[in-house]
Amino acid sequence: MPFDTKYDSGFYRIAVDESQDLLRAEWLRTVNKDELVEGGTKLYEILRETGITLVMADARVLTALPSDAKDWMASTFYELLSQTGLKMMARVVPSAIFSKIALESVVTRAEALGVTKFEVKNFTDPKDALSWLLA
């Protein structure tokens, strides 16, 4: 797939394959809230600019997030993404059960707040995530 890197901060990378209407976002290391907000905002901006509707978000390295970062994701991040043309997001989460549950709870809270206007599904394997998006 011909991915074109749109953003690379050293802690977060966003690449787009416009021919498949696919964006791949990958956290490169554990981040603090400011970095999470910066990366999440950049994802929103790139989705707005490109009109991409499918996202694979690889968060396997996010094994611990501060509670204020999770609050921002649940209340603001998913609302921002819902203002784009995003239709499906496959999240690749850590396989460690505690980290996986922590990340899954963010989506559950966002859905309960009614801010998620797209389909979200969690995976532990990027290949499975990609298969779901491109099916």
Q: Is residue 132 part of a domain?
A: no
pTM (2 d.p.): 0.90
Which tens digits make up the pLDDT trace of 60-89? Answer: 998 778 888 888 988 899 999 999 999 999
End-to-end CA distance of the chain: 16
Q: How confident is the model at residue 1 (pLDDT cuts 50, 70, 90)?
A: low
Can you state the percent helix, strand and coil of the chain, rounding each to 5?
45, 25, 30
Mean pLDDT (the chain, rounded) = 91
Q: Is residue 66 part of a domain?
A: yes
Q: How far apart are CA 66 and CA 59, in angstroms?
A: 15
Q: Is residue 96 part of a domain?
A: yes
CA-CA-CA-CA torsion for 13, 6, 105, 98, nearest 10 degrees? -10
pLDDT, residue 64, reads: 79
Residue with tokens 């400011």: 34
Mean local confidence (pLDDT), 25-36: 94
The CATH number assigned to the domain holding 76 equals 3.30.750.24
Q: Is residue 135 part of a domain?
A: no
Q: Is residue 134 part of a domain?
A: no
Domain count, the chain: 1
Residue with tokens 């999770």: 70
Q: Which domain holds residue 36?
A: 4-126
CA distances from 31 to 26, 56, 78, 111 (A): 12, 19, 18, 24
Q: Is residue 28 part of a domain?
A: yes
Q: What are phi and psi of 6, to 5 degrees?
A: -100, -20
Portion of the chain with pLDDT greater than 90, in percent: 70
